[in-house]
Structure 1
């Protein structure tokens, strides 16, 4: 039996795939402990057998994470990215202060580290533990031919595009210099050798992501990255959900279903929901909108066309019944929809969502409407094209077949156990 430790952000989009990997490892007879701040404990409580070790209670007291999510949900584009980076810096400093002692006390054998938890690799090195880098969102590995993850730049492996990409990477490295400096200073304090570059902080044993390779841009260094498809459970349920919130399935009709969700982070901008509702108001279809916030009262929101509006929806179950998914281009929603062969219209808001939406459009399985140019009219045009042109569903079904052969969470567990 191996005892695995998990370090990842407390966002549901990161916790759900990590918990699916944890459940697979638990079913194979291993032990798994997730290290998280107080707000995380209640979210992962439903994962049977998963142990929880609380850290960061002073820096992130109960309620802090939910408050930060709501603040981030009001932001878009570069503002949202900068806010996320500031948050990651705070998490990095907290992990430096508390995680090594907590991990050592629990007797962890192997660490599973979310790619955005950059200090995780250094903690593993300090404790002489093997670790795996897990990309639960879009891989952020930098290389010349791949546009930065926070842009909508298309892939072109030519000189001017490489120069553009490098400038974008330089901007990202500048914006994240405080996080990087915190890592550099801490490694010095721990008497660890300096990292040669930012890529060196990822696992040299195993890096995995929940994309099929056909979804990502071509990468020169892809041999180190294992593309496994979504880390999702076979059943149409997520480890982290809100079972007390019942969905009115009896209100669904036989009309084509359009499911709209802005996830659990970028969900505070009512004008985006209004644009979605207006764009769908006179379609011969039924619109379901998930507000992505279990504390929100959907009856307080009046939207055009009388859609079904709920605080939080059974994500996978609704995607499986949908003719179209409208999304902020969160990784789990996009890959979940493609896994079901459902085309999408993406409205990327911030962080890695522009990069995900650009890749989606490149597959031909959906369209992208950048949030800065979002209007109900423009969104309606994209909806009409995706619903009216069978090629979008054909491409979504092509991606579905690819996903089914990718290995997913079982292959992830195989690879993780192979390094133990």
Structure 2
């Protein structure tokens, strides 16, 4: 039995897959501890993972929620800038608090969320093996792949690669506060210098929560990179949301179901929900809108038509019942495709444009950019996906790919192999292109 530590953001979209992976490792006899700020403890209370509090002085109770509310009100570049500011502050906190906590807990190996860039340096300082887990879209950089925060399509031509490199350079410039903190701390701790951003990721194993068939083709991916598909519970339960979810499935009628969800961060933008409801008025289907917040009051909404508005329903279970899902993309897109459900994406910020672009390339959905969102365009996209069987067929192909990828079982196998060998775990299934 090994003691495995987890470092990841406190957002539900990151905590749920990490907790599901932790639960699988618990089932195999390992001890698993998540290190997080105070308000994360309640979120993971249903998971049976142990919790070790850090960062209370920087992130007192309620502060993370306040940041997420602010992020939910921003779009595009402004949302990305706020995210970078948060991760810079988190990195400084981790460098101060995490080494002592992890040493005190006597951890043997760390699972580090890819966006928690400080985690690998903490592991290096403690001389601990660590594994990178990409709970969001992988942000590994290479010229052939558009930056994750862009809506750019994949094009295997010289001008697209030049465009991608320019986008990567812009992102590196915007995220330099995080990079500078990391570089400075490695100098203080007398650790080998990182020469490029991807040096912060594990050289033992990198685990991505999507199938390779959904990602853009990659030529420079490391051989210890593993596409494992969704890190979800076999029972489709979401451990972080379990104690707050409520929904009566008896309220569903016999019509096809259209489910609308903007996740937990962007769910404060009710103007988008209003547009979705109006776009669905003449479509012969039942619309269910998730407000993504257990504190939301559905009775205060005034959306057109008669949609069923719910504060915080069981997300995956409703996806499973749906004919299509209208979403901001992000991790919700992979959840939909894991059930073979096509998508109409309205990407808002961070990695959502990149995920939406991948869904469109796979033929499993349509994209309506937020800047071009109106009722007519959204209605046209919904009707196209709703009526054309091709989208559902392509979503079904991705469902098979996700099932074949292995999920939490394969991810846990990789982790255990690292534990046993302390050497890179090469992916024999990795293909050079899709």
Matched residue of 2:287: which SS? Answer: strand
Q: In 2, distance between residues paired with 1:242 and 1:316?
A: 11
Check if 1:380 corresponds to 2:379: yes
Q: TM-score, normalised by structure 1?
A: 0.98
Q: Which residue of 1 aligns with 2:396?
A: 397
- The question of whether the paired residues in 2 share the 8 Å contact of 1:93 and 1:182 is answered with yes
Compute the displacement of 1:376 (Å). 1.2
Q: In 2, distance between residues paired with 1:68 and 1:372?
A: 23
Matched residue of 1:80: which SS? Answer: helix
Q: Which residue of 1 aligns with 2:314?
A: 314
Compute the displacement of 1:313 (Å). 1.1
Mind listing any 5+ residue stretches in structure 2 that lack a counterpart? Answer: 420-434
Q: In 2, distance between residues paired with 1:244 and 1:173?
A: 38
Compute the displacement of 1:29 (Å). 0.2
Q: In 2, distance between residues paired with 1:323 and 1:246?
A: 21
Q: In 2, distance between residues paired with 1:311 and 1:67?
A: 18
- The question of whether the paired residues in 2 share the 8 Å contact of 1:282 and 1:305 is answered with no
> What is the aligned length?
418
- The question of whether the paired residues in 2 share the 8 Å contact of 1:147 and 1:168 is answered with yes
Show the 5 A alignment for 1:25-44: 25-44=25-44
- Deviation by residue 1:180-210 (Cα, 9 ceiling, x = unmatched): 0000111111111211211111000000101
Indicate the RMSD between aligned Cα atoms, in angstroms: 0.8
Compute the displacement of 1:236 (Å). 2.1
Check if 1:185 corresponds to 2:184: yes
- The question of whether the paired residues in 2 share the 8 Å contact of 1:242 and 1:294 is answered with no
- The question of whether the paired residues in 1 share the 8 Å contact of 2:231 and 2:407 is answered with yes
Q: Which residue of 2 aligns with 1:59?
A: 58
Matched residue of 2:139: which SS? Answer: coil
- Deviation by residue 1:40-68 (Cα, 9 ceiling, x = unmatched): 000000012x1000001010000001111
Matched residue of 2:35: which SS? Answer: strand
- Deviation by residue 1:132-188 (Cα, 9 ceiling, x = unmatched): 000000000000100000001011121111110010000000000000000011111
- The question of whether the paired residues in 1 share the 8 Å contact of 2:279 and 2:379 is answered with yes
Q: TM-score, normalised by structure 2?
A: 0.95
Q: In 1, distance between residues paired with 2:402 and 2:192?
A: 39
Q: In 2, distance between residues paired with 1:112 and 1:272?
A: 36
Compute the displacement of 1:225 (Å). 1.7
Q: Which residue of 2 aligns with 1:164?
A: 163
- Deviation by residue 1:400-419 (Cα, 9 ceiling, x = unmatched): 11111111100000000001
Q: In 2, distance between residues paired with 1:373 and 1:248?
A: 35
Check if 1:107 corresponds to 2:88: no
Matched residue of 1:405: which SS? Answer: helix
Bigger shift: residues 174-183 or 335-344: 335-344
Q: Which residue of 1 aligns with 2:427?
A: none
